[in-house]
A and B are shown apart, each in its own frame.
Chain A
Amino acid sequence: MLTSQFLLLGAILFCIGVYGVIARKNAVLVLMSIELILNSVNINLLAFALRNGSADGHTFALYIIAVAAAEVGVGLAMVLLIYRNRRSIGLDELSEMRG
């Protein structure tokens, strides 16, 4: 197996995730795109862990999984709160913080 094939798979997933974050209006779909980005990072970390024969990549991948779980929990709670107050989770309608 080549090192670059895993890194390129990570790059493709990362770019698809970035496209999703830019293009989507629905807040839940934006959170899903962020999950794609975090997974592409995990693939890269584990590819380098295999390449270098080191356990550091595994450790960081586990930390990323835990942070992603916490992020989704808080993010969906915020989405729920916004929906309860505004009856909508379109991100372009949240303009209170605009200066």
Chain B
Amino acid sequence: MFAADLLVAQNIGFAVIALVMIVGALRVVTTSNVVHAALWLVVVLSGAAAQYILLAAEFVAVTQVLVYIGAVMVLFLFGTMLTRARIGAERDLNNNYWRLGIPVAGVLFAAMTIAVVSSFGDEQLPDEPRVIGVQEISDQIFGPYLLPFWALSFVLLGAIIGAIVLARKD
């Protein structure tokens, strides 16, 4: 926990990516343009994928890029275009009581910071972590976690059918 320990490449990378993610997240919740919010969300999601790689979770990082940045973002942009008469900055995106959110988020963050620091203060992550490959993840999914996988399949099926039924014209 000294400067020599902290200034390794991983920590510098973490700090830069974390800073970009926080700025992006703040812009998502403060910008006055819905399309800009979607594009800032891309920044946050890409940063999250980079953090997953730092956490030695390559498969999850690739899935994040494919599913979130590839699919969910397209959905968001389509949703924006189909529900907006005009694309551009607009006022009136916030509630009348939006200021209430600042103390709520502040208190929540203070509570979580106290909990995290008191539980994990100086604990280091393992330097040589056990590599978890795709094979082990698939053994987990199709082994002990098969039941949630089935449930998830039905959730996705229901979501697809529900989305078609809801969005159909007639």
Q: Does A94 contact B (CB under 8 A)?
A: no
Given A49-B132, A83-B83, decide whether A32 and B38 contact each other with a Cβ distance below 8 A.
yes
Q: How many residues of A contact B (CB 8 A)?
A: 71
The interface of chain B, by Cβ under 8 A from chain A, is 1, 10-11, 14, 18, 21-22, 25-26, 28-29, 34, 37-38, 41, 44-45, 48, 51-52, 54-57, 59-60, 63-64, 67-68, 71-72, 75-76, 78-80, 82-83, 92-96, 98-102, 104-106, 108-109, 112-113, 116-117, 120-126, 129-130, 132, 136-137, 139-141, 145, 148-149, 152, 155-156, 158-160, 162-164, 166-167
Tell me the minimal C-beta distance from A34 to chain B in angstroms: 11
Q: Does A4 contact B (CB under 8 A)?
A: yes
CA distance A89 to B29 in the complex (A): 17
**Chain A minimum-CB-distance residue to B10:** A1
A88 CB to nearest chain B CB (Å): 9
Q: Determine the residue in chain A with the shortest Cβ distance to B41.
A: A32
Chain A residue with Cβ nearest B165: A77
The distance in angstroms between the C-alpha atoms of A56 and B57, with both chains bound, is 12
10 A-B residue contacts at CB 8 Å?
A: A2-B1, A13-B25, A18-B108, A24-B98, A35-B41, A65-B60, A66-B67, A78-B166, A89-B83, A90-B92
Residues of A within 8 Å of B44, CB to CB, are 13, 36, 39
Counting chain B CB atoms within 10 Å of each CB, the highest count among A51, A57, A92 belongs to A51
Q: How many contacts between A and B, using CB within 8 angstroms? A: 255
Report the separation of the CA atoms of residues A61 and B49 in the bound assembly, to the nearest whole angstrom: 12
Question: A31 contacts which of B1, B76, B108 (Cβ < 8 Å)?
Answer: B76
Contact of A6 among B55, B68, B140 (CB under 8 A): B55
Contact across chains for B60 and A92 when beta carbons are under 8 A apart: no
Looking at the assembled complex, report how far the CB atom of A24 sits from the nearest CB atom of chain B, in whole angstroms: 6
> Are B105 and A19 in contact (CB-based, < 8 A)?
yes
Complex CA distance for A13 and B21, rounded to whole angstroms: 8
> What is the CA–CA distance of A89 and B71 in the complex, to the nearest angstrom?
22
For B109, the chain A residues whose CB sits under 8 A away are 11-12, 15
- B167 A81 Cβ-Cβ under 8 A: yes
